[in-house]
Amino acid sequence: MPMSDDITIRFPFTKGDGYLPGKSEFSDDELSDIRICLAMSICWEPDEMEENQDAKIISLEFLYDGVTYIEGNDFGYWFEDDDGLYGYPAPIVRFKLDRMVDVEQFRTSIFTSSFSVITASMEETGEAPYYAEDHNGYTSVLSEYERDEWIEKLKKNNTLCGKIFNHPDGLPECGYSIPAMDFVLASGSSKD
């Protein structure tokens, strides 16, 4: 298996756990800037790797935020009519580690990451967030060539994020939550 300390993961979060709120459950502020309601949880479980369990993620870079709509694709989030939220988040994240690890073992140690949606009205009524997750095992490691192709596509569509989070002492394990306001490009969620 290939080894690397620079691994790019695409997370297609096509399945959900919980209740995805309808459009009427979003406030006007949330409808105009959906980032308020979103967060990504990076679930790093190095003990799932057979080797190099003491490896540390020292930085992560969002190449694609997973939410901003790109014409002609079914991923991203957007509102349609009065129905509610459509699509699914599919972030692309580049991870830098402090040592070489087996790329497939790394994928299995990070693939339980998720995207959450929770509105103010859900919080007020005590509802749990909606979690977009990968229940089908579609999370994949991108080759250097695939990563560079995605970067070109993202640049062409003005959706290259580039937000970097540094963790010189290592990314916290098991559920490091990043509010979407910190990395999602678009303020709204629209196909327009």
Helices (H) and strands (E) in the chain, counts: 4, 12
Can you give the residue ranges of every domain in the chain? 3-182
For the segment 130-148, the average pLDDT, to the nearest whole number, is: 94
Quick check: 129 and 25 in contact, CB under 8 A? Answer: no
**Residue 17: which of 107, 109, 114, 140 has the closest Cα?**
114
Distance from chain centroid for Cα 147? 16
- Token output for 76: 């991203």
pLDDT 10s digits, 5-64: 999 999 999 998 887 888 889 999 998 899 999 999 999 999 999 999 999 999 999 999
pLDDT 10s digits, 63-105: 999 999 898 899 998 887 777 788 899 999 999 999 999 999 9
Query: What percent of the chain clears pLDDT 90, i.e. is strictly above it?
Result: 77
What pLDDT shows up at residue 191?
A: 54
Residues 6+ positions from 185 with CB-CB distance below 8 Å = 65, 68, 159, 161
**Residue 107: which of 50, 158, 164 has the closest Cα?**
50
- Residue of 188 and 177 predicted with greater confidence: 177
Q: Is the overall model pTM greater than 0.85, yes or no? A: yes
Rounded to whole angstroms, the Cα distance separating 88 from 158 reads 19
Helix, strand, or coil (residue 89): coil
